Amino acid sequence: MTQKFKVLVTRKWPKKVEEELQLNFETTLNESDTPLSENELIDAMQNYDALLPTVTDKISDTILSVANKKVKIVGNFGVGFNNIDIDSAKKNNLVVTNTPEVLTDCTADIAMLLMLGVARRGSEGEFHVRKKEWSGWRPTHMMGTKITGKTLGLIGMGRIAQAMAHKAHHGFKMKILFYDPYVKSENLSNLSATSCESIDELLSKSDFVSLHCPSTKETQGLINYETLKKMKESGYLINTARGDIVVESDLVKALKDNTIKGAGLDVYQKEPEVNEELLKLKNVFLLPHLGSATEETREAMGMRVLSNIQAFFNGDEPNDRVI
């Protein structure tokens, strides 16, 4: 590229990625890591060639449809892109890219951590020790649920779900069920995974239910009190997908009245707000959206954005084009 295009990065990114962006583009960084306002994002659309948001930046129709746009590509930092009004981006002839594949294993690891943490009462145990409440080992102290040999049900069977299934099946000898109308069991022979005819079937047969579907109009609120009642009373819900797939108030009710035994959550309905009632419950294991939060993965995600916008401005097709 002979011309240095102007790009705006909406949040603080790994240092190596920011340095590469500065080498290749006229780059404006967000040194304070403070979320940009709608007006600041509108201004960016009018003054930069590329907007590089993260999954927590709401890129609405108001922003994308602003008059006198200069932005031609939105390079999203994250595999999900429900933060962007895709219909508006199409209408405004904007290219949108994401960062798939590179965060698969680390997000699957967090799903495993949530499953292990809630089943074995990990956060309870740590606080017990930190508060100096532990009086010593005893046969009935803080008994949890065994994971090895249990049944894991996956709603959605994309890359992250398949990575979790691999770890669970080969590492913990778990039986794998899944519901995904676009994936067939015969393509998952290495996991001995069985496809369910319906979500209801999966919910009723699984000891652990892990969510891996995207947030869409069809999946938002998919897990509610009625669906939770179809799970085993001894069952656990795991969510590393998107918070709005679960109706949090219904989950709180199910956890309080023992409709299910517990939950492990890395994402929330109104991030960064977390339902106050969830915070009071002992049978839920909570993490602050750490799915891809390793140095290696976040750097790889940033480099993926860089590669996509480089390709675009060179006149080539970006590898991770969403639209």
Catalytic residue among 121, 242, 298, 304: 242
Predicted confidence band at 189 (pLDDT cuts at 50, 70, 90)?
Answer: confident
The domain limits of the chain are 6-102+295-313, 104-286
| pLDDT exceeds 80 at position 2 | no
pLDDT confidence of residue 24: 97
| pLDDT exceeds 70 at position 179 | yes
User: Is 271 an annotated catalytic residue?
Assistant: yes
Structure token pair of residue 136? 């010593």
- List, for residues 92-102, the tens digit of each pLDDT value: 999 999 999 99
Catalytic residue among 120, 166, 289, 321: 289
User: Is 40 an annotated catalytic residue?
Assistant: no
pLDDT confidence of residue 186: 85
Same fold, 6-102+295-313 and 104-286: yes
Catalytic residue among 26, 271, 277, 299: 271
CATH class of the domain whose range is 104-286: alpha beta
**Residue 241, class by beta-carbon neighbours within 10 Å (0-12 exposed, 13-18 middle, 19+ buried)?**
buried
Predicted confidence band at 242 (pLDDT cuts at 50, 70, 90)?
Answer: very high
Closest listed residue to residue 303, CA positions, set 72, 20, 105, 9: 20
User: Is 321 an annotated catalytic residue?
Assistant: no
pLDDT confidence of residue 185: 87
Cis? peptide before 272, omega within 30° of 0: yes
Least confident piece of the model among 41-50, 182-191, 208-217, 238-247: 182-191
CATH class of the domain whose range is 6-102+295-313: alpha beta
Predicted confidence band at 320 (pLDDT cuts at 50, 70, 90)?
Answer: very high
Residue located via tokens 């069985």 = 194
Closest listed residue to residue 94, CA positions, set 75, 67, 79: 75
Phi and psi at residue 187, in whole multiples of 5°? Answer: -85, 0
- List, for residues 124-170, the tens digit of each pLDDT value: 999 999 999 999 999 999 999 999 999 999 999 999 999 999 999 99
DSSP E strand stretches across 2-68: 6-9, 26-28, 50-52
CB burial readout 156-170, b (16+ within 10 A) else e:
bbbbbbbbbbbbbbe
Strands 73-75 and 50-52, by their bridges, are parallel
**Residue 245, class by beta-carbon neighbours within 10 Å (0-12 exposed, 13-18 middle, 19+ buried)?**
buried
